[in-house]
A and B are shown apart, each in its own frame.
Chain A
Amino acid sequence: MNGYVTKRMLHSLISMMGLIILVFFLSRLTGNPSDLYLPIDTPADVRAAFSQAHGFDDPMIVQFGHFLANLVHLDFGSSMRLERPALNLVLEAFPVSLTLAVLAMALALVIAIVAGSLAARSPNGVLDRFINVISLCGASVPNFWLALVSVLVFAVWMRWLPTSGMGGPEYWVLPVIVLAVRPCGLLAQVVRGSMISALSSAYVKTARAKGVSQRVIVFVHALRNAMLPIITVAGDQASGMINGAVVVEVIFGLPGIGRLMMESIQYRDFAVIQAGVILTACAIFLLNIAIDLAYALLDPRIKHA
């Protein structure tokens, strides 16, 4: 187990390094941002001074060296657009995205497990086919479109919920539901599949023979063993939630990581892009460790492997 963790850490570190290099040089390729920040009629010497102050004149490799050196003591540089430390901006945006993702994932998991288990109770039955089609439908809806349609129906026509912005819990209802729909549809399919195979196994037959009630069989005996593939897919979906979060945050005006990144890309705000990418990658790394631990918890055999 220990060797395994060390190996995983090493691999993640290599991935992270690759990502940092990729993002650093990619964002530098967009050109010198001084054109974007200075008026067109700026004299050449002011322009040069601006470039020098931000270090754009140095060779790429020197800039990268500076960047790495600063990174070691957690200095991500400061945002040129907002003139504040990049790390602070990212840390302020992070809780918003995290809340959004956690709520959406929880909602998706609960609905998917209940619906998938119900469907697996009688494969190819009426309920199963109904749930199958509904979950496929959920997995196929583009979330930006769903966001727009839900704003139209529940905010513009019905006036039940606010269209966008931050505030009380009512501001979170639509974004969370919209973000949960696709993972929920995909997860319901996975739950159904792994529940069907768990329910046809020998230990479930034994439990049946002992006279254990159907509910206990489904939710205690089978679900625990069906959880492994569910967790794998849920983990994948959780890191992919950032994808959906970009769109949802832009449409609903939530000040999260996705919107911050979108704006920073538009304004070539290198420092914020780098800080955002690295922190997101760290969060996904922690998530993967949590998933590994969950595996070991659910299936003791993995510990010894």
Chain B
Amino acid sequence: MTMTAPPIAMTEPSLWRQSLGLLWRDKFAFVAVLFLLLVVFAALFGSTIFGQSATRINLAARNAPPMSMHLGWHYVLGADSLGRSILARIAVGTRNTMMVAGLSVIASLLIGSLLGFIAGYRADWTTGVIMRVADVLMSFPSLLLAMIVLYVLGAGIANLVLVLAITRIPIYLRTTRAEVLEIRERTFVVAAKVMGASPLRLVWRHIRPTVTPTLVTIATLEFAFVMLSESSLSFLGLGIQAPEFTWGAMVAQGQSYLGTAWWVAFWPGLAITLTAMSLNLVANWLRIVTDPVQRWRLEARSSSNGGGNE
């Protein structure tokens, strides 16, 4: 009867292949992931490929406009006021840009979610203290707070990471707490509790897996946000200091040549925009894929493509 086709479709492909297939169906997310892979590649190997031309001063190429191919392919995006190739500097600057954002996101994710589990699970004074401290941090514009703290502690990579991590902790804290408060009332958690699971086991084995997808999505979004904050701080001169540089610091450096050599500030800013946008697209895709209802919609859409649907 109609039992001929299903057996092939019923075999569950591995989780990895499944998500790869879902990714391929969302072309924007697919391109975004490719771009992020390129960024990761630049962060890992940028300085080995371009190490020399990112720092070598070449006065013959001062403010060379983009497509100055006669100077070599390194100068395809032009050169800055000291004749350093902008392409090389963007590639080398990737590592610092990604490192600051990545470390801050990891630090605030770990601390924030840990505090969130505590504040969600316990209902005593610790929760009150944690939530009030989060309120203090949330009640004030993060960039302004970071400016003050960085001026006190001095600018530098470690302090930058510290400030960015601390100002973003409340996001994870609040999300985790809200999720924990809701999940701990669900039947499967209550059942585990009745069967004698310890609080630690309850949180780790039963509650955490349900919260993780949300946290991963938020961390992806936050990566973009933190990267933009870092570049704003570096742009204002309170972030990373020379000779180290990030994309934000490169834009700051190009600001004074805006009228004569726009490309010095333009390309690093474009790199920031494209990376942040890719992260947002991927976070968007993650949200759809990890939500069963929306995921079903995505799968249904692609299978109905043959039927001439939009």
Contacts and interface: CB of A to CB of B under 8 A. Distances in A.
A129 B298 CA distance: 14
Interface stretch (A144-152, A219-227, A292-300): A144-152
Contact of B273 (A11, A125, A142, A265): A142
B127 to A, nearest CB: 13
Contact of B258 (A141, A151, A277): A151
Identify whether the interface residues of A are mostly helix, strand, loop, or mixed. helix
Interface of B: 28, 132-133, 135-136, 139-144, 147-149, 151-152, 224, 228-229, 231-232, 235-236, 248, 251, 254-255, 258-259, 262, 265-266, 269-270, 272-274, 276-277, 279-281, 284, 297, 301, 310
Given A148-B265, A247-B232, A19 B140 contact: yes
Given A19-B139, A133-B28, A261 B265 contact: no
Of listed A126, A148, A239, A258, residue having the most chain B CB within 10 A: A148
Interface of A: 11-12, 14-16, 18-19, 22-23, 26-27, 29-30, 124-126, 129, 132-133, 136-137, 139-146, 148-149, 151-152, 156, 239-240, 242-243, 246-247, 250, 258, 261-262, 265-266, 273, 277, 280-281, 284-285
Of listed B135, B231, B297, residue having the most chain A CB within 10 A: B135
A262 B140 contact: no
B139 A281 contact: yes
A26 B144 CA distance: 13
Nearest to A18: B136
B232 A142 contact: yes
A140 B270 CA distance: 10
In order of increasing CB-CB distance, the 7 nearest A-B pairs are: A145-B269, A140-B276, A243-B143, A18-B136, A140-B277, A242-B141, A15-B139
Contact of A149 (B142, B143, B144, B266): B266
Contacts of A151: 258
B151 A239 contact: no
Contacts of A152: 258-259, 262
